[in-house]
Structure 1
Amino acid sequence: GAKVDDDDDGDARPVRVTASASRAHTDQAARRRGTMAGERAPLLKKGSASTSNAKLYLATFSAVLGNFSFGYSLVYPSPVIPYLQVEDNPNLRMDTPHIAWFGSVFSLGAAMGGLGAMLLNDKIGRKMSIMISAVPSTVGSLLLGAAQTRWMLYLGRILTGIASGMTAASIPVYVSEISSPSVRGVLGSCPQVTAVFGSLTLYALGLLLPWRWLAVAGELPALLMLVLLCFMPKSPRYLISKGRQEEALKALEWLRGRDADFISELQKIERSISSQGHISWSDLAKPCYYKPILISVTMRFFQQMTGITPILVYLEPIFHRTKVTLEPRYDAALVGAVRLLSVMIAASLMDRAGRKRLLFTSGFLMFLACQALTIYTHTTPCPSINITHSQLHTPFSILQSHGVQQSPPFDPITVIPLLSTMVIIF
C-alpha cells in the first residue's frame, strides 16, 4: 500500500510503504490495545486475593495492652487497702475518708482522660493517643510504688485514671478501623476481654506481691505497649480522612499482606468517608438521633448505678465485712476469674442469642444476686463500725505476720455473699 505525503515544496507525492514497516505498525497497534486492556483489567484476578491477619493480630495485641493496664489499675485498691490500714508510716496509713478518696479519684482521672482523647483522636490520630496514654500510666504507677505520703497515692491514682480514660476512648476505635471485616467482630471484643484479664492479673498478683511491687508490675504493660506501637501502622481511615492516601495504602498493605485486595478496601473507605455528613446540634432533636443516644446513655447509667465499679475496687473489704470463710484475697481472685469467663461467654453468645436477651438475663440475675446479698448482710450479725475503718478484719496474712492466728470454722451460709458477688460480676 502507499500513502500520500507532502514535501517541503507543498507537492504531493506517493510514499511506498514496505512490508516490514506495515508489520511494525500492526505490532505497535496491538501493543497499544493490550496496554489499554491491561489498564482496564483488575489488578487482582477474582479469587486470587489472599488476606493474612498475622500482622493485624500483632497490631491489635499491641493496642489492647492499654486495656490490660486499664483493668489492672482500676482494681488496684482492692488488695492494697488492707495493707494501708496497718501501714507503719503514719503519712500513708488510711482511714475511711482516705480510702474513699483513694478508690474514687481514679474515676475523676478517667473522665478527664476520656474527654481529652475525644479531641486527640482526630487531631493526632488514634495510635498516637494510645501511645501518649503510656506516659501518665507509667508516671502514675511510679508514684504509687514510691509513695511516701497519701497525696502521692492520690496523684498516682489520678494519673493512671487519665491513662485509662484515654485508652478506653481510643483503643476500640483503633482496633475497629484496622480490622478487616471478616474478623472485626471478634477483635472488637478484645479490649473488654483484655481489661477483665488485667483485673484478674492484679487479683492474682495480690496473692504474691507486696502493694508497692504491684504498682511497679503495672508499668510493664504500658511500656511494652509503647514499644510495640512504634512499629505498628496508623489507622487507615484516619490517614484517608487527612488526605494521606499513600500512607493509608501502605498501612493496609502491611495489615492485610501483599496478596490481599487492599486497593478495593481503600476505595471503600474513601467512599464511606466522602458519604458522611455533618450533624449539627439541631439534628439531635430528630428521633433517629436522640433515641439511640438516650437508650445507650440510660443503659450505661443504670449499669453503673448497680455499683459494679465500687464492688470491683473494694472487693476484698466487702468480703471482710461479709465474713466469708475463704480468705478475701482468694475470693477476689475467684471473682476475677468468673468475670473473665462471663465476658468470653457473652462475646460468643452475642450474635447467637441477641443483645436484648442477654441484657434481660443479666439484669434478672443481678436482681436475684443483689437481693440475696442484701438479705445476708441484714440478717447476719456484724459489727456496727465501718469495715474500712476497723482493723478487726485485717487480712489473714497480715494477722499472721503480727503473730495472730485465725482459723474460723466453716459456715456454709458464708458462701452466699461469694456466690452472689460472682453472679453480679457475671
Structure 2
Amino acid sequence: MQEPLLGAEGLDYDTFPEKPPPSPGERARVGALQNKRVFLATFAAVLGNFSFGYALVYTSPVIPALEHSSDPDLHLTKTQASWFGSVFTLGAAAGGLSAMVLNDLLGRKLSIMFSAIPSAAGYALMAGAHGLWMLLLGRTLTGFAGGLTAACIPVYVSEIAPAGVRGALGATPQLMAVFGSLSLYALGLLLPWRWLAVAGEGPVLVMVLLLSFMPNSPRFLLSRGRDEEALQALTWLRPADADVHWEFEQIQDNVRRQSSRVSWAEARDPHMYRPVLIALLMRFLQQLTGITPILVYLQSIFDSTAVLLPPKDDAAIVGAVRLLSVLIAAFTMDLAGRKVLLFVSATIMFAANLTLGLYVQFGPRPLTPNSTVSLETLSLAGTATSYLTLVPLLATMFFIMGYAMGWGPITWLLMSEILPLRARGVASGLCVLVSWLTAFVLTKSFLLVVKAFSLQVPFFFFAAICLVSLVFTGCCVPETKGRSLEQIESFFSSRRRSFLH
C-alpha cells in the first residue's frame, strides 16, 4: 500500500506508507495541487449559496423603501410586507422538495446548475416589477432556487472533499451565503432596490459557467454505474501523483452495498432513521433560533428600536460580523470539532436573544416609528442613554456571530456528513423542506406577533429554543471531525458511540 491519500494534510486515513514520508516541500506541493482542484470545484458550486444569501436578505432594505413608496401599486402595507418577506421561504421549501427528486435524478452538479433558471427569472421579475404580484413571484422563484441549492450544494461539497478538509470546505456554503448577504447590505447603501435585483443576476451566470467545467460527485457517478467517469472525477479532484485507487475502491464498495433504494422496512431500522432524524431536528432547531426572521427584517427591527446609528449602517455592520464569524468557524471546525462549536454557538445566541428581549422590554424607545434617535435627543438623555442605544446593535452582532460560528455552517455540514448514502438525496431535500416550512411560519408570523405582543416576545422565545439546542447537542449529535463518510456511516450501522469519540 502506498502513502496515505491525504498525506499533505495529516493522517486522515488509517494507512501506513511503505516508503519514507515525503519532504516538507513535496507535501506542500501536493497539498497545494489538491487544494487548487477541490477548492475550485467547491467555489464553483457555492456561488449558488452566494445568490441564496443575497436573495434571502433582499427584503431588508427593500421593505422600508416600499413602505414609503409613492407608487400605489408598489406601496406595501404591514400585511403585504410580511408576505413579501416570508414567501421566499415557501419557495425554498418547494425547492427542497424538488431536490428530493432532482438530487438523485440529475445529480448534485446538474441540480445546482438547474437552479440558475428560477433564480435568474426571479431577479428579472423583481427588477422590472410594476405590481405586488411580480415582487411576490420573483421572491418565490429566488426562494425555490435557494432551497434547491441548499439541499444539493452541501452534499456535492461533502462528496468531493477529502476527510481532512471536509470541515473547512463544509463551511464554505454558509460562508458564501453570508458573503452574499453582506454584499446585499453594502449595495443597499448605494443602489436603489431595482438595481439590487439586477446585481443579483451576475453570480448566477458565473456559477453556471464555472460548474460546466467541474466534475460530478464520484459517489453519485458510481451509484449510476458510471465507474470509469467516477474514477476520472476522483483523479481530477486529488493530487496528480497520488494513488486514488484505494479511496476509489472504498467508495465503490460502499456504493455497491447500498445500490438499492431504501424500503419502508429498512427506513424503520435505527441505523437509517437515526441520522435522518438528527439532521431533521437540527434544521428545525436552527430555524427556531430566529435566524431567518432576524435577517429578513433586520433593518425593520433596528427601525423599531432606539439605535445610535442609522438602521442601514447597522445592517451592513451586522453582515460584516457574520462574515468574519463564518471565517472563524471554517478555520476551527476541523480543529475544535463540531460539537464544541455547537455548544459555544447556542450559548452566545441565548445570551444575545435574551439581551435583545430585555432591551426591548426595559430600554429606551425611539421618538417616532421608523426613525433613529436624533443627536438632540441623545444630548438631552445624557451619555448613559446614548451608550445604551448601542445594545441592539451589539446584541444582534453577537447573535449573528454565535449563529455563524456553529449552528449556521455546522448544521449544513452535519446534514451532508451523517445522512446515509442510499437516502442522501431524498433526505437532504426533506431536511431543507422542513427547515424552510419552519422558516415560513416564523417569518410570516414575526411581524404579526410583534404587532400584537411587542418585539420582546419573539426574542424571549428564540432564547428558550437556544437552551433546547444545547441539550440536544449534548444528547444526540455525534462528533464527525476527521472521519470519512464511510466511517461515519459505519458508526450508525454498528451503533458504537465510541467510534466517533
The TM-score with structure 2 as length reference comes to: 0.68
1:418 corresponds to which of 389, 393, 417: 393
Q: What is the aligned partner in structure 1 of residue 430 from structure 2?
A: none
Shift of the alpha carbon at 1:406?
Answer: 7.9
Q: 1 CA distance for matches of 2:240 and 2:266? A: 43
- CA drift of 1:256 comes to 2.7
The aligned counterpart of 1:236 is 218
Percent of aligned positions that are identical: 56
In the TM superposition, what are the counterparts of 1:126-205 in structure 2 within 5 Å? 126-205=108-187
Identify unmatched segments of 5+ residues in structure 1: 1-44, 385-389, 397-404
Higher mean Cα deviation, 59-68 or 260-269? 260-269
2:292 is aligned with 1:302: no
Letter in 2 for 1:414: T
1:36 alignment counterpart: none
Which of 366, 370, 374 lines up with 2:353 in the alignment? 370
Q: Distance in 2 between matches of 1:301 and 1:183?
A: 27
Question: How far apart are residue 360 of structure 1 and its match?
Answer: 2.9
1:82–1:394 Cα contact (<8 Å) kept: no
Alignment equivalent of 2:294, drawn from 303, 311, 320: 311
Aligned residue number for residue 206 of structure 1: 188
Change over 3 Å in CA distance of 1:363–1:57 after alignment to 2: closer
1:393 and 1:265 map into 2 onto residues whose CA distance is 58
Distance 2:182 2:376 in 1: 26
More divergent stretch after superposition (341-350 vs 135-144): 341-350
CA contact (8 A) 1:71 1:197 kept: yes
For the Cα contact (< 8 Å) 2:306–2:372, is it kept in 1? Answer: no
Counterparts of 1:7-406 in structure 2 under 5 Å? Answer: 52-53=33-34, 54-256=36-238, 258-276=240-258, 279-380=262-363, 382=365, 392-393=369-370
Q: By how many angstroms is 1:290 displaced?
A: 3.9
Query: Which is further off, 339-348 or 185-194?
Result: 339-348
Cα distance, 1:88 vs. partner?
2.0
The one-letter code of the counterpart of 2:336 is A
**C-alpha deviation, 1:249, in angstroms:** 2.7
Q: Distance in 2 between matches of 1:374 and 1:132?
A: 42
Change (3 A) 1:355 1:231: closer
| Partner SS, residue 409 of structure 1 | helix
Question: Quick one: distance in 2 between partners of 1:289 and 1:311?
Answer: 34
Bigger mean CA deviation after superposition, 82-91 or 277-286: 277-286
Separation of aligned partners in 2, 1:363 and 1:56: 31
Q: Secondary structure at the match of 1:233?
A: coil
Mark the runs of 5 or more structure 2 residues left unpaired by the alignment.
1-17, 380-385, 402-501
Q: Aligned pair in 2 of structure 1 residues 124, 407: CA closer, same or farther (>3 Å)?
A: farther
| Letter of the structure 2 residue corresponding to residue 303 of structure 1 | Q
The residue type equivalent to 1:416 in the other structure is V
The amino acid of 1:409's aligned partner reads L
The answer on whether the counterparts of 2:171 and 2:330 sit within 8 Å (CA) in structure 1 is yes
CA change 1:395–1:99 in 2 (3 A) is: farther
Q: Aligned-pair RMSD on alpha carbons? A: 2.6
Name the aligned partner's letter for residue 74 of structure 1: L
**Shift in alpha-carbon separation, 1:425–1:108, aligned structure 2, 3 A:** same
Once the 2 structures are TM-superposed, how far is the Cα of residue 208 of structure 1 from its aligned partner? 1.1
Q: 1:81 to 1:57 in 2, by over 3 A?
A: same
Contact 1:69 1:222 in 2 (8 A): yes
Which residue of structure 2 lines up, in the alignment, with residue 7 of structure 1?
A: none
Q: 1:347 to 1:177 in 2, by over 3 A?
A: same
Distance 1:302 1:269, change over 3 A: closer
Quick one: structure 1 residues 192 and 323, their matched pair in 2 at CA, closer, same or farther if it must change by over 3 Å?
A: same
1:253–1:205 distance in 2 versus 1, CA, 3 Å: same
Q: 1:241 to 1:407 in 2, by over 3 A?
A: farther
Q: How many residues align?
A: 369
Q: Deviations over 1:114-133 (max 9, x none)?
A: 11112111111111101100
Provide, for residues 97-151 of structure 1, a one-character-per-residue CA deviation record: whole Å limited to 9, x for no partner.
1100000000000011111112111111111101100011111001111110011
The Cα of 1:382 is off from its aligned counterpart by 3.9
Which whole-Å CA distance do the structure 1 matches of 2:79 and 2:65 have between them?
Answer: 16
Instruction: From the superposition, tell whether residues 137 and 249 of structure 1 become closer, same or farther in structure 2 (CA, over 3 Å).
Output: same
Partner amino acid for 1:268?
Answer: Q
Listed one character per residue, the Cα deviations across residues 351-408 of structure 1 (whole Å, up to 9, x for unaligned) are 4434333333332322222222112212245479xxxxx9x42689xxxxxxxx9875
Deviation at 1:327, TM superposition (A): 0.7
Q: Quick one: which amino acid aligns to residue 421 of structure 1?
A: T
- 1 CA distance for matches of 2:253 and 2:388? 61
Question: What is aligned with 1:409?
Answer: 378
Larger radius of gyration: 1
1:31 equivalent in structure 2? none
Is 113-122 or 145-154 further displaced after alignment? 113-122
Partner amino acid, structure 2, of 1:418: L
Letter in 1 for 2:304: R
User: Higher relative contact order at CA 8 Å, sep ≥6: structure 1 or structure 2?
Assistant: 2
Equivalent-residue separation in structure 1 for 2:160 and 2:344 (angstroms) = 33
Confirm or deny: 8 A CA contact 2:168 2:333 kept in the other structure: no
Tell me, in whole angstroms, the C-alpha distance in 2 between the residues paired with 1:243 and 1:289.
23
What is the CA–CA distance in structure 2 between the aligned matches of 1:218 and 1:59, rounded to whole Å?
A: 21
Aligned counterparts of 1:57 and 1:67: Cα–Cα separation in 2:
15
